[in-house]
A and B are shown apart, each in its own frame.
Chain A
Amino acid sequence: MTTADKPTEFKVLGSTPLRQDGVDKVTGRAQYGADIRLPGMLYGAVLRSPHAHARIKAIDTRAAEAYPGVRAVVTAQDLPELESKVADLGEGSMNLRYQSNNILARDKVLYFGHAVAAVAAVNAHAAEAAAALIQVEYEVLPPVLDVRQAMRPDAPILLAELRTDELGQKGEQPTNVAAHYLDEAGDLEQGFREADVVVEREFTTAMVHQGYIEPQNATALVTADGQVTIWCSTQGAFGVREQTAEILRLPVSKIRVIPMEIGGGFGGKIGVYLEPLAVLLSRKSGHRPVKLTMSRRDVLAATGPTSGSYIKVKMGANRAGQITAAQATLIYEAGAYPGSPVGSAMGVIFAPYRIPNARVEGYDVVVNKPRTAAYRAPGGTNAAFASETVVDELAEKLGLDPLAFRLQNGVQEGDRRVNGVAYKRIGLLEVLRAAQSSAHYQTPLAGPNRGRGVAAGYWGNYGGKSSASASVNADGTVSLQEGSVDIGGSRTALAMQLAETLGLPIEAVRAAVADTDAVGETEGTYGSRTTFATGWAVYEVGQQLKTQLCERAARLWNVAAEQVQYAAGVFTSGEQRLTFAELAAQLDRLGGPVVASAAVQPKTWGPGFAAHIVDVEVDPETGKVQVLRYTAVQDAGKAVYPNYVASQMQGGAAQGIGWALNEEYVYDAQGRLLNANWLDYRMLVTLDLPMLETVIVEVPNPGHPFGVRGVGEVPIVPPAAAVANALYRAVGVRMAELPMAPGRLVAALQARQG
């Protein structure tokens, strides 16, 4: 670990206690969403569209309703019809009417797998059989599957009322282009005139899925008084509550969401799919609990994916190695409804570099594919694949080491992004230097068909609303209730921050994830925000506890509260001395329980930067790529729970390598998804990866009490570009399409041979 600036001394942060939910998770006891079983519970099934684009002319549910064991059938007619209204979903916003139509198609199905109706029955087999009996009459329409095709004036229109948001103004014509954005800085033409080397390239990337192993699930119970309880696997219980309330037009206070353990999300479990259906089915079946779970096929066909894209990049640099100009056009698939991450992609594309003259344009385009959802640094991997391979080519043309070229142009505090915003203290240069001096980069790579690639990456991170509360127990321990679901050790990272604040050992603090009735509003576990923002809430809770406890000690000692000091678990005032536990044991005599709660909405999140190094070996005859060695270097601000920071870096790298090499949605000409299973949607397996080395750099975020930056997202930004750059070094072809699948690589090699 390398540390920049003044390291702060911590006792708990930076240590590696066992995670508090660990034993439950290694013994099979942890309860994930689908593990729930309630008395009288019914099982649901969802009927999905076999067409990518069709008008629904009629739905006949009679046969399903008559099927033995069926208790309820619902269609879009059971959902309130909603006005267009935009709701913030975190990592992307969503028009609620579209959100409702995505839950159950109303007049049109817009993608293969679009939900059309749902059934609840006494067991899953009956529900599934009944769903298959629902008759839907479709008028099949031509599908639009490619963004550039969708932008043509003669393209079939998906959403009749859609008008382009043209740099803030609404367009007049029906269109598939939901939005057009632009960021500019300096004088682009002048910048290219100053360049001695210019590289211009076009890229395409395929739609990919988050690939969490746990399918979406939701169980709901509506009692006779209309009170709703939802158990589900979600990244954010409050988001589920809000979306369900909006979609079903219910007061938020009528809904309680109990977040179960969650088997991965990566952005894909922020928006709701099943929760409102489970509520409708429970209500319609006479107030029985209803559990809905998706099959893997449904997960791939109808949830999550992130945008495929078309990206054009042009960059110029002078002989001195200075980038003088950069231009990019990014066109992102939104899927069936507006809301691709093209905006955040625009923020990623040139983020690591000081570029005086730049222009970045983005288009959000609807196509007949599933509505896209956030996926880990949404839009970033595609964007960095394009820009970081062009940067690599520039460095090569200038005869410069790729890391040195990046260092020379790398941003630091005070430099401005293309959108004009100036960076605060950031750690890119420290990261690049750590990459240069890493064991990996210092070890030469030899051998035929082998190559080493590097790439840098940026992610802005996020703050948002978080709440927590804690109570002091008589035995000197502290119980923490926090609102962030724990997808990868965050309970423990939060308990650590409370322990640090209180000067207690981690064993004295126990964290629990609270439901929406038990803690203040907390945004989901996304945007690399949990350790940062909920950690801050926890810090505030700790400060309040300390203040209150000092008051109690003051009462005991009969001194003014200001005369009580607290440090390292001990209260003192003059000669008087009490440990935390000794004071806790006396609280009953000193005014009763000590409880504190805090809610924060910090705006001072700090961006994260990463640099990845990869060695590959290519079999030029088959196009197969083996990753030989991989190192991820990243600025974590402060690595609160270092094992789990490293694990985020490794996991992000692994997902990115899979995206680089194999993962893609394959549709036929009718828009039917051909690979909705894990044999054909190829996520990496154990044998595809080496050990993944990590170097954590710590440049504290000045905007957080402990210096924390988010760490979860940036590690997926560089891998595809790093692998592409390594492939080029190995076999001499620059790949411009993701995934760089074996067949494509062989074709590129053959094309080069002519």
Chain B
Amino acid sequence: MKKLLLLGDEAIAQAALDAGLSGMYAYPGTPSTEIMEFIQSSKDASDRNVHRQWSSNEKTAMEAALGMCYAGKRAMVAMKHVGLNVAADSFINSAITGVNGGLIIVSADDPSMHSSQNEQDSRFYGRFAFVPCFEPSNQQEAYNMVFDAFEVSEKYKLPVLLRITTRLAHSRASINQKATIPEKILSLPDDPMQFVLLPAIARKKFKVLLSLYESLRYENRISKYNNFKDGRKRELGIITCGIAYNYLLENLGESLNDFPVLKISAYPFPKDLIKDITGRCKEILILEEGAPVIEEAIRGILDEGIKVFGRLDGTVPRDGELNPAIVAKAIGLPVSYGQDVPSLVKMRPPSFCNGCGHIDMFNSLIEAVKPYGQGHVFSDIGCYTLAALPPYSAINSCVDMGASVTMAIGASDAGLFPSIAVIGDSTFTHSGMTGLLDAVVKNSLVTIIISDNSTTGMTGGQKSQATGRLEQICEGIGVSREHIKVIVPLRKNHTENVGILKEEFEYKGVSVIIASRECIQTAAKRKRSENSNE
């Protein structure tokens, strides 16, 4: 079999292709983006015509994947952890409908928030929905788990969650490739009512789901990823989840064998495993990359059982990503250290690219809003969020995709005037359009600025669903034609653009200003590929 050097994300994508994937669905989001990108650049996927187009958001991606597996084929949907909030309605309900072809939901968590608004742990969602959840500790395991996850999904007719974290997603390792499985053929569910969640049907199906969850504990394709290994020491036993195992091994090396260790990489797991380790040891250390999910369960509300060390008692920091030093400290080993960073080294935060169109848009906005004072600009998530930092300090919010539009509506309802939203084109088609409809229906006094750079810039320049459609969308939603203004954010247009902004702020109704200029990175990439095609 071939050996490949792949990112964790790419290993998952390669495994899905090798396991007979027919459809990949996703909306970009760090650290999950490279799963779809790998499939889009795969020759195999293009020869087989595997579905590999971006979706408008995680919910539409999740539902389309569910549709593909309704038709009997294997589908995968990938998103960053907060994307699962957006897809949560369909995700939770898909556990009750169940699946026909295999379905894997990849949720990429970002502990330490390298590029996210929070560090929620997707394992909670697995338990919440009562679906199996795999948590690979390394890239090869991630590759292998995809095969098992599809099998489990089809055997139990359940969607399966694959939870990864940034470190695994964005770290490269060599992978042994397995023999490939052909794609499934089109076949409808045996029960034509399987996907019809009328209350009477859902009640029955939920009972089935609950009992199924218990039997999953003893499913071999899940339990083989959970291993208890005894060791001679009796003072301390160690439980690791997912990638935490690597840091333990890094620190202990051969002497890992001295400790009883329970390595958990798939859920739900048999209670016996916990008994095995708690029965032998006086004290337990729990290492989890993410929230203290297992730790809370073992402690229970009373926390009067076995002595437990972990994130809840401060042995491990309560938040943030693990690393070798944190784990060394937790097991009482000395922490090595090089030299301090010399004090002359300065912070180098990310910043707008030189010549970015968002800069010119914000320069005009800052001038136009000045007479009204601080606090009028709601914004959203994307490259343009960098305007929160000096020298711009131009925006007052960044909460979740689409919230700029709706928060501007609410603030205007409260009497704030003017109430302004700044949103990117991809974020607008992800979750801004429905908010705009609310504004139109009640004629809110809001000005929505769509900073349209014809791409999803923040995540590396993926195709934006909005490109070329924004004016029609806004008009279709019901914004009056006279108040849809298209401007080109360039320095030479500054005075004119300030004038247009000021005028629309004063308009007593919904106006949309589309500030349109291609992202310079995307433009450069486009020119490179045009040249190489010539």
Decide whether A and B assemble into one complex. no
A contact residues vs B (CB 8 Å cutoff): none
